[in-house]
Amino acid sequence: MPPQSSYPPLVKPNLIIIGLGNPGDAYASTRHNAGFRALDILSTAFGEGKWLQKDKFLSDIQEARIVTVPVLLAKPRTFMNSSGEAVKKIVDFYKVNPQTHVLILCDDIDLPLGSVRLRNEGGPGTHNGLRSVALLYGEHYPRLRIGIGPKPPQGDLAAWVLSVPSEDDRKKLDDVLATLPDVIRKYVLGETIAP
């Protein structure tokens, strides 16, 4: 007999929500990890059980339920530029269509700080995590972008996204992240349709 797992088998999710970020404490509070922070908010609102490190997904995962809909939350353990590798592992395992069963959460320098934009498709822009996913699946998958504001004039883009927000900026980011459970609930229930 195979060894018994201490956890029940994973339920096939109706939706896989993947937050993009960089693993490790050094990046936890940076602007670029808004996707991870968003998942922490969703975990508090909808999560069931503990976060589990799943090497086969190259991710930390948690099962969740939004009303009656089974959902999987996932934080890739790859670095941002290789996010697509983890997304592919999860998509292949569950045999789902990214256009209908995956939602990517990430930061966006082209949106004002403290705003969100939900879309069913679009280019990756300057975001290397989205570019990594687009190389595998094109531009046709839903994504929710979290505005972190533009880099300062003459500033370095990498340094900006990997910096820690000021207290005021952090407050604006926290305020918009707190709205996400309601946004995602409406999305799952079909009350909010991404353009």
> Catalytic positions, please?
32
Sign of CA dihedral 93, 84, 193, 73: positive
CA–CA dist 91, 103 (Å, integer): 11
27 in Cβ contact with 162 (< 8 Å):
yes
Q: Please give the C-alpha separations between residue 114 and each of 31, 38, 179, in angstroms, as whole numbers.
A: 12, 12, 10
80 in Cβ contact with 36 (< 8 Å):
no
Q: Please give the C-alpha separations between residue 170 and each of 111, 123, 175, 192, in angstroms, as whole numbers.
A: 15, 27, 9, 26
The first and second tokens of residue 25, run together, are: 């404490």
